[in-house]
Amino acid sequence: QVQLVESGGGLVQAGASLRLSCVASARTFNLYAMGWFRQRPGKEREFVAAISRDGGLSDYETSVKDRFTISRDNARNTLYLQMNSLKPDDTANYYCAANRGQNSAWGRRADFYAYWGQGTQVTVSS
């Protein structure tokens, strides 16, 4: 029973930066690996980045490596996605997700995650 709320999306020009946040209701946030996914209209939801429970490990989709950074602050029950050098192709609704906790699987597959936020829209103009 985890509720997730994303924020930080908006309309920006190509080359700009945004930081997305995701606040979790879980009392034991540090037991959940977390991920960011995005979805464009008419397209499948796709993996962006994921992070381990303690923040020690992370994984990124190839197109965002060296531009995006996933991080977490377990004391604040918050997940972040710092997005730099944004491109029009980054335009999508961005979702945060929590896996099943403890030692449950995590990473690139959407079905690893049991809890999802409602999304925050990122629009990058050219």
What does DSSP assign to residue 54?
Answer: T
pLDDT band for 121, please (50, 70, 90 cuts).
very high
The size of the chain, in residues, is 126
Q: Cα–Cα distance between 74 and 103 in angstroms, integer? A: 17
pLDDT band at 76; cut points 50, 70, 90: very high
CA dihedral 22, 7, 94, 104 (to 10 degrees): 10
> Percentage of the chain surpassing pLDDT 90?
94
The pLDDT value recorded for residue 1 is 77
Is residue 10 predicted with pLDDT exceeding 90? yes
Asked if the model's pLDDT at residue 71 lies above 80, the reply is yes
